Amino acid sequence: MLSLDQIRSRARQWLSPEFNEETREEVTEMLEKDEKKLVDAFYQDLEFGTGGLRGIMGAGTNRMNIYTLGMATQGLSNYLIKTFGDTGIRVAVAHDCRNNSRYFAETAADIFSANGFEVFLFEDLRPTPELSFAIRHYRCNSGVVITASHNPPEYNGYKAYWDDGGQVVPPHDKGVIDEVRKITSVSQIRFDSKKDKIKIIGKETDQLFLDEILKISINPEINRKHSETGIVFTPIHGTGGILVPDALRLYGFSNVHTVPEQDITDGNFPTVKSPNPEEPAALSMAIDKAKKIGAEIVMATDPDADRLGIALRNPQDEFILLNGNQTAVLLIHYILSQYKAKNKYKGNEYIIKTIVTTDLMDKIAESYNVKCYNVLTGFKYFAELIRELEGKEKYIGGGEESYGFLPGDYVRDKDAVASCALFAEMAAFAKENRKTLFDQLTDIYLEYGLYREKLINLVRKGAEGAGEIKAMMAGYRSNPPKVINNSPVVKMNDYSTLVSTNCLTGETGKIDLAKSDVVQFFLQDGSKISVRPSGTEPKIKFYFSVNAPLVSADRLEATEKMLDERISGIIADMKLA
């Protein structure tokens, strides 16, 4: 780590005229009054990783600001020129509702234009999936969206996309990173915008995007018949408010309500502790409204509208929250069953899930004779596979446990706008068949088995924490458990070596994926434990999946309790409690 004198020296470089007055004032104040803040702002560079940039906003090399963003954009520009030549390059730029997002988006657009690129800049905040759509529609070579997803208000970020509308993957991700690292001074950034190169886009692109969402509707006549289905939607102050209500109306739903306090675009997210639809508290205001007006479904999207949270009524008329696995299972089952009912299959269809997402999706796909591909965590791997199979096989849906789903291939990132519309259609379909969505989920469990999942995040901050996480992963590989919770470990997958080992016979096989720092243990009782360090935060993640047959609907609660106890036993045995 840098010494305090080295940190002060780095900070003083930001007092030069190359930096704007606001930045110089903030750095001066840190130098004079706040040593702790100074160290945190300058002790390292904000790293441009495979997912782009993400960090706390403010002045400094370890902060999200127009200079760290500028270096990333110039590095990306240089790589685009190296890859595609220096003429005819197009990029799209979008942003979410966060503080400074518009400023950062306009700065990125200025830099791209200064490099001679044609830039398609959205007029205002837009969902991340629409950025993916715009890249493809406008035949762009790349694109960026300014967002920090569902991080706290003090964060912002920058995600880079390639010409297929998916986030950058190998070999381009490493190529971009190498070029970004070559930008060592703000003097290398081309800030001199060429305004004639920047085209503002908006409503016309919205309509084209919505037209594609309408095409994935499978039962439009049922939507019209049950147009009064009660829905409460909240964008949690973010971009979902721009298009989700429009998508629901386009599908034929007229009884759509929002939460006025959360319709307000605000990067401070004043009504929630966290703008994360995975958190129950983020949906509490919407659920309260749904109770008052008698709505059947609650939907929420995160600030950039790529993840969705769902709440629905159980037989006791109480709202329960679905986890990401349950939402994905319901949507996949609806798509596959309706494709069969309407004779839409041509024999080359497939779905995608991640290796840490519920295996119930594999079972459902198998029952419909549809391929289910398992990929590494992250929707960029969905996009990569869709691109590889384009023209050979047909993608019809896929999702991950972390509340992301993509129901069509016109977008190459998770899409909460389309997923909300399709989820509402699924509710109308259940209604047509005199069922609720809770009934539908129970029916799936009765047919395929009840699956329960749980995620534990162990936070380990700083250099010491990073070392602890590394040691934990090394320990699982060098001395893997033989028995967990009284059930023998029958298989171990190590994605760092791409070796799958039968722990009973010692036989090994190859895993056909890219290398990743993930270990999985499969138990004799059908349980699965996946362990991986987070790629964006100082934590190590443990995913637990257990299952058992569900013999009757009235045994649902008891079977859930039994499986939850099994998960608790696994956690205790692994000393994670």
Cite the active site residues: 149
Tell me how crowded residue 155 is: count the other CB atoms within 10 A of its CB: 18
Written as six digits, the tokens of 289 are 């409204």
> β-strand 499-502 against 508-510: which pairing, if any?
antiparallel
Alpha helices in 85-202 (DSSP H): 101-114, 128-137, 172-181
- Residues of the chain by 3-state class (helix, strand, coil), percent to 5: 40, 20, 35
Give yes or no for a contact between 237 and 264, defined as CB atoms under 8 angstroms apart. Answer: yes
- CA-based R_g, the chain, Å: 24
Tell me how crowded residue 215 is: count the other CB atoms within 10 A of its CB: 9
Give yes or no for a contact between 210 and 243, defined as CB atoms under 8 angstroms apart. Answer: yes
Residue with tokens 């509340």: 403
Q: Look at residue 207 and give its three-state secondary structure.
A: helix
Compute the distance between CA of residue 451 and CA of residue 436 in angstroms, rounded to an integer.
19
Closest CA relative to residue 404, chosen from 128, 216, 154: 128
Compute the distance between CA of residue 201 and CA of residue 93 in angstroms, rounded to an integer.
10
Compute the distance between CA of residue 32 and CA of residue 481 in angstroms, rounded to an integer.
53
139-151 burial code (b ≥16 CB/10 A, e <16): ebbbbbbbbbbbb
- Ordered DSSP codes for 249-309: HHTT---EEE-HHHHS--TT-TT-S---TTSGGGGHHHHHHHHHHT-SEEEEE-TTSSBEE
| 92, 224, 270, 322, 561 from 76: Cα distances, Å | 13, 46, 34, 38, 50
Residue 65, judged by CB atoms within 10 A of its CB (0-12, 13-18, 19+), counts as buried
At 369, which amino acid appears? Answer: N
Per the DSSP assignment, residues forming a β-bridge with 509 are 500
Compute the distance between CA of residue 482 and CA of residue 573 in angstroms, rounded to an integer.
12
Q: E strands within 13-129?
A: 53-56, 90-95, 118-122
